Structure 1
Amino acid sequence: MKTAACLESAVKHSSIDQTLREQYDQLTPRERLLADFILAHPQDLALFNTAELARMCGVSKATVSRLFKRLGFSSFREGRTLARQLRHQGVPVVEGGKRPAAFDAHLRQEEFNLHQMFQGLTHERLESFADALADARRVVVIGFRNSYPVALHLRQQLIQVRPNVQLLPQPGQSLGEDLADLAAEDMVILVGFRRRPQGFDTLLSNLARRDVKLALVADSSLVQAGQKAHWWFECPTDSRSAFDSYATPMCLVALMANYLLNASLESGRSRIASISHQYAALDELSLNSPELD
């Protein structure tokens, strides 16, 4: 299919704006007017139709169509659809050349993401999750690629409050050995943000069929798959810059850890005190402010 071929080509060339830069010297003067606008405002490409884009750039609709056909698309609409698909899949799309996204716009997007996440949460759901988390015999946290740092941080926070929290996959290792003995007394927290590796869907389906409590933390691209889990936590990662933002999942990690502590306050406090004692005994942490010369 033409769209699939264009998607493969765009992924290869990173984004439409990079392809435009590569072909810029071959463009006509009118096409360059259009190209200059797209290069300066790539994040706005999905907002306009052919007529609107032509009017804003002072060119004809035929020029718009001709430019996108030069780039390998059947129409402007196909190019606009591709831009949406790429960003939705997490492909870093440069906005505005070398200039970063506007500071205020970035802040507003972060605030919007947090608001969206909290709208999807309830105190009751977090409490039920924390109760199950406290009662589980073993907790396994799984994350790949960009999800791995979130999973690592979640494991590090949970293990402050309760024992037997495992992070997977271990470097260079497969998953089968560690998942073979999962049982109903265990919980798996699967973190899966977009641009997931091959095999993720198979893993999710496998875990959903197992007799194990399953929580899924991901962006909206897994909202349908979230129905397979006992707990679904949606974290928007949209950003006004080229790269996704992980502010919302890190915020969720803090919420999960705090709810777990409240669900197991006595044992949690005792464990925190014991860990602090070990920090001191091993002299692992520097708690004093460094002296400056």
Structure 2
Amino acid sequence: MSPEPRSFLTRVRDVLDQLHPAEKRLGDFVCDFPGELASYSASELATLAQVSNATVSRFVKRLGYENYEEARRHARAERQTGSRLFLTRAADSAAEQSLSAHVTQGVANIEATFLAITDAQINTVVEAMLGARKTWVLGFRSSAPFADYLRWQMLQVVEHIVALPGGGETLGEHLVSLDPRDVVVVFALRRRIARMDPILSVIEKSGARLLYITDESAPARPSVTWHFRCQTLAPGPLFNHTAVMALCHLLVTRAIERAGAGGRKRLRGIEGIGDALEEV
């Protein structure tokens, strides 16, 4: 089996300590702002990094590319993986984004997200979770906190709910138990793990209903039961997950509303035990 091709940034890091001073300056710049190479011409990059055009040409040859255009195509392809490094611009690095810019973008993300999600879809998801034999919530990397949060809040009215994977656990021991009567919620925000597609395929083959929550970059997956895309644009180097949290909040609130008398009884019981144990 042939080895995996090296990423653009791996090529840069591998040669960084071997470069001459001007090339090293360019290499450091590209490591900090790889998106600039993906966006600009060789002469524009030279100006930004304060090096000569000849230095840019030598640099890309050192990385193993035939020419600048080949390097730029590779950087552009890598930008699609969702690395925030590729979305950070040198011109913005020294500037603070205003509070207003962050608030405005957060509001815009929420509005754009919920324009594509209907009340009927939310109700259908919630009813499925309330009636499921078991609800599984799954998330890796930046998605893991959202999976934990949704499980923790939904536990108010959904008794059989678990977040995966637990510390030190693998998925096989859990996914083997999936049943067509179950609901699985998968958070898959950038950057998604490399094995996400095989995991989704295992869930789909089980017959369980699947809610797939992603950012706007994920391609449509018609095979899932529901696919909600959350806008994550941001005026800075990090993704804005305001809309993801808003979606979690809506799902839990609607679940409490739709749980009816049984849900209220469970909530009263939780509060009663909490008071008796003086937990909070």
In 2, are the aligned partners of 1:138 and 1:164 still within 8 Å (CA)?
Answer: yes
1:235-254 superposed matches below 5 A: 235-254=230-249
The structure 2 residue matched to 1:258, chosen from 232, 237, 253, is 253
> 1:59–1:190: structure 2 CA closer, same or farther, 3 Å change rule?
closer
Aligned to 1:288: none
- Say which SS state the counterpart of residue 222 (structure 2) adopts: helix
- Say which SS state the counterpart of residue 170 (structure 2) adopts: coil
In 1, are the aligned partners of 2:38 and 2:75 still within 8 Å (CA)?
Answer: yes
Provide TM-score, normalisation by structure 1: 0.74
Provide TM-score, normalisation by structure 2: 0.77
Corresponding position: 1:181 with 2:172: no
Aligned residues: 273
Moved more, 51-60 or 67-76: 51-60
The structure 2 residue matched to 1:89, chosen from 62, 81, 84, is 81
1:1-293 superposed matches below 5 A: 5=5, 7=7, 9-11=8-10, 25-27=21-23, 46-49=38-41, 68-69=60-61, 73-93=65-85, 95-96=89-90, 99=94, 102-103=97-98, 105-224=101-220, 226-285=221-280
In 1, are the aligned partners of 2:178 and 2:203 still within 8 Å (CA)?
Answer: no
Aligned to 1:291: none
Shift of the alpha carbon at 1:72?
A: 5.0
In 1, are the aligned partners of 2:12 and 2:63 still within 8 Å (CA)?
Answer: no
Instruction: Using the aligned pairs only, state the percent identity.
Output: 30
Distance 2:226 2:96 in 1: 34
Distance 1:114 1:229 in 2: 23
Aligned to 1:289: none
Shift of the alpha carbon at 1:182?
A: 2.3
Distance 2:212 2:132 in 1: 16
> 1:180–1:86: structure 2 CA closer, same or farther, 3 Å change rule?
same
Q: Which amino acid aligns with 1:102?
A: Q
Q: Which amino acid aligns with 1:191?
A: F
In 2, are the aligned partners of 1:6 and 1:72 still within 8 Å (CA)?
Answer: no
Q: Which amino acid aligns with 1:241?
A: G
- Say which SS state the counterpart of residue 167 (structure 1) adopts: strand
Distance 2:142 2:151 in 1: 15
> 1:63–1:114: structure 2 CA closer, same or farther, 3 Å change rule?
farther
Offset from partner CA, 1:246-281 (integer Å, 9 cap, x none) = 222111110111121222232222222221222212
> 1:241–1:75: structure 2 CA closer, same or farther, 3 Å change rule?
farther
Aligned-residue Cα RMSD (Å) equals 3.7
Distance 1:71 1:101 in 2: 33
